[in-house]
Structure 1
């Protein structure tokens, strides 16, 4: 009943604007979401857990049963009004709060390729919750806002938001103890990178609908940071083909395949919110860094150099058929990065 009442209230533009200006509606909603999710956080298990100070939202009865949905629904109803979406992005305190909330989804549900890992003991619903939560809380909010800012008038605002996201990513790297893209741990992966996807989708939207220019939206000269930014989305692309080898993730093949399928099929607007956004981010970064460095990182992630330089198969960690699968996968992903045209927004 409360949900139905709030839908009726916030569907009215005049009431919503008045509530925002006179009764601190956005502050109340954001503080409520902040309080809800801050009480169900746990330590992130990405990279070396003992060096990781990042906190992520955990699965429990509260989150599994989606008790957060009424307040998230209110956010979507409020942001469906252009005035609210514009104020949400223009008021720095609002977006910084939302940035922090989103960071709690960044690195959720880490999969460890280790028979002794905690993931092996988790329920089969854990990863289902993580995909649902990111889609409903992060993706749907972004699509609701984007519907109102696909105009050149919002270019400066979009650039400011993307810059704040870069700052949040740098803080995330620091929190998880990640300094160099070569330090990524190969036997673990998270499918949940909402901060990366916000950067990707907002950049795509700005370039296609706001006449934004890439060198202004990505004013970053630090190549190492850009490669660090690329490695986690790239790892997900690699994992999709690691699963196909039936060797690397053999203990968790079924669960990993379900997650891979969900990653590729989660819909936001009319695109695959996760996969398309990650591919577009890789496309951007590949044009901004040294080509040889990017290609070296790319093929090394797929285990290709180590296989090709071996003089004997006795020293190989995997069967030859597994390397062939990974080589095929690398060429498919590379051709996707080179030729794929994502659609991360509606056609005007």
Structure 2
């Protein structure tokens, strides 16, 4: 159990080795603070600002103080109520232009405060790894399976302890560096978790029990099964191996379903650039397991907001997102996680002749769809695809494209609507809304994020790759649905969800209009195949007209 403690811990010594009182110690440590970014973290329902004129990333945001002290006169900005929480990006050149920084933040605002005395932080450096270890041990002790109330109580019991760590961070860059060094140092993690030679001592027994609980907890958080090509991808491997306190703390954050105070603690240290990369790496290593937690959560809405609260701070940085893509296969991990989530709720498609249709689509009545459990994963994917270098890598990777269109095929022909001839349907079922929401968020948004980067002939080869992958998937869909042309029963049913057709139409339009691609080199030459290609979009338009006529008759 974490002791209640106080926030009056002495962490600074003077040049003579004498302990300073807390207030004086805080002032001395803060006097050497050369932080150039704001990094203020807020929780949901916080009023913040977004300036599209200054933003490099569409997810940039500013706290009220930094916005008002920055130069945003006649800029395209808005004030908003934060839904998932966030952090102020003032001073971060990877997220916004320097012209929008306030007078206190930015690389050019570094004040020369001199170097801190070498012995000022010696006690903090010695204590901090052990303080963090105690928090880790507390989380281990209270991770009982299937007992969310117990985990919630454990976080409440550690509240004062976590607040103490937050207070340390608020002392400025000097103390923050001590904390982040302790969190990311693999040697400290290894040494402090080693079992003493005298294994009969009380502390040795405690460490043995703590290690056993930790190892059992690792097994309880599975990851989606990847395809054969991705078995060596670190974030998709079956066994998690943690090398730092930070990686294990992220694991417990996932396991405890992102407790708000712990999330704030992790995010408050982001002004340290080395820590930001380490946190991003740790987050990606656990990303596929987060998707499992979203599926099984009893409160997916709250969990979704807290996941995005973290991920939006990490993936909005273009260079960081690109490194994670290159080093940890971030895009593959995201698509595998989405595919895994949807593959568990598949049902047989009833479009056309249902006895000869062997295609499977998502069941829109399942909680994953109705509760939008997929939303954080799609939001993150859209975020990273807003970065041009990442989006171009996505479209240049044949394995990714094949996986992506295989994912989209799960929505192709879903939620079949049957025409009612006897009674007027006054209210549409919930599945109707869930189906349109899913196709919009999980299919259309990423499509527009990708096509935005295809603006000239230099990227025409990528458009051809996307179209080729799309047409291959469409041919496979025709085969498994055994669709060879219109049949009588089709006149009474329709699916409004044709993401493969949508992608084909949008990318072909972009290629012809802006990239010098000719229609003849993409579409099949056979009239029979072209007829099959147009039949489903045409059926949607006919059904739309029928719905409008029926609605007018009942008005």
TM-score between both structures, scaled by the size of structure 1: 0.67
Instruction: Return structure 1 stretches of 4+ with deviation > 2 angstroms.
Output: 113-116, 180-184, 240-246
Partner of 2:409: 103
Partner of 1:227: 531
Whether 1:24 and 2:24 are equivalent positions in the alignment is: no
Partner of 2:383: 77
Deviation at 1:115, TM superposition (A): 6.8
Partner of 1:157: 462
Deviation at 1:57, TM superposition (A): 1.0
Deviation at 1:160, TM superposition (A): 2.3
Looking at both structures, which has the greater relative contact order when contacts are Cα pairs under 8 Å and sequence separation is at least 6?
1
| 1:103-142 equivalence runs, <5 A | 103-113=409-419, 124-142=429-447
Report SS of the residue matched to 2:452.
Answer: helix
Deviation at 1:188, TM superposition (A): 0.7
Contact 1:46 1:188 in 2 (8 A): yes
Q: Out of 288, 308, 316, which is 1:3 matched to?
A: 308
Deviation at 1:113, TM superposition (A): 2.2
Tell me, in whole angstroms, the C-alpha distance in 2 between the residues paired with 1:140 and 1:39. Answer: 23
Tell me, in whole angstroms, the C-alpha distance in 2 between the residues paired with 1:31 and 1:245. Answer: 42
Tell me, in whole angstroms, the C-alpha distance in 2 between the residues paired with 1:83 and 1:244. Answer: 44
Tell me, in whole angstroms, the C-alpha distance in 2 between the residues paired with 1:12 and 1:5. Answer: 13
Tell me, in whole angstroms, the C-alpha distance in 1 between the residues paired with 2:487 and 2:415. Answer: 22
Q: Out of 214, 218, 233, which is 2:519 matched to?
A: 214
Whether 1:167 and 2:472 are equivalent positions in the alignment is: yes
Matched pairs, number: 248
Contact 2:352 2:487 in 1 (8 A): no
| 1:192-271 equivalence runs, <5 A | 192-218=497-523, 220-246=524-550
Tell me, in whole angstroms, the C-alpha distance in 2 between the residues paired with 1:45 and 1:189. Answer: 10
Tell me, in whole angstroms, the C-alpha distance in 2 between the residues paired with 1:84 and 1:190. Answer: 33
Tell me, in whole angstroms, the C-alpha distance in 2 between the residues paired with 1:227 and 1:70. Answer: 38
Structure label with greater radius of gyration: 2
Deviation at 1:217, TM superposition (A): 2.5
Tell me, in whole angstroms, the C-alpha distance in 1 between the residues paired with 2:489 and 2:460. Answer: 34
Partner of 2:485: 180
Contact 1:106 1:195 in 2 (8 A): yes
Contact 1:180 1:224 in 2 (8 A): no
TM-score between both structures, scaled by the size of structure 2: 0.42
Report SS of the residue matched to 2:490.
Answer: coil
Contact 1:103 1:195 in 2 (8 A): yes
Deviation at 1:56, TM superposition (A): 0.7
Report SS of the residue matched to 2:347.
Answer: strand
Report SS of the residue matched to 1:215.
Answer: helix
Deviation at 1:182, TM superposition (A): 5.8
Tell me, in whole angstroms, the C-alpha distance in 2 between the residues paired with 1:183 and 1:164. Answer: 31
Deviation at 1:183, TM superposition (A): 6.5
Please give the per-residue CA displacement for 1:187-219, whole angstroms capped at 9, x wherever unaligned.
11111001001000001111111121111232x
Report SS of the residue matched to 1:42.
Answer: strand
Q: CA RMSD in A?
A: 2.5
Contact 1:88 1:94 in 2 (8 A): yes
Report SS of the residue matched to 2:361.
Answer: strand
Tell me, in whole angstroms, the C-alpha distance in 2 between the residues paired with 1:158 and 1:87. Answer: 12
Report SS of the residue matched to 2:467.
Answer: helix
Unmatched runs of 5 consecutive residues or more in structure 1: 258-348
Deviation at 1:243, TM superposition (A): 2.8
Deviation at 1:114, TM superposition (A): 5.3
Moved more, 35-44 or 175-184: 175-184
Unmatched runs of 5 consecutive residues or more in structure 2: 1-305
Q: Out of 394, 405, 413, which is 1:88 matched to?
A: 394
Partner of 1:47: 352
| 1:261-300 equivalence runs, <5 A | none
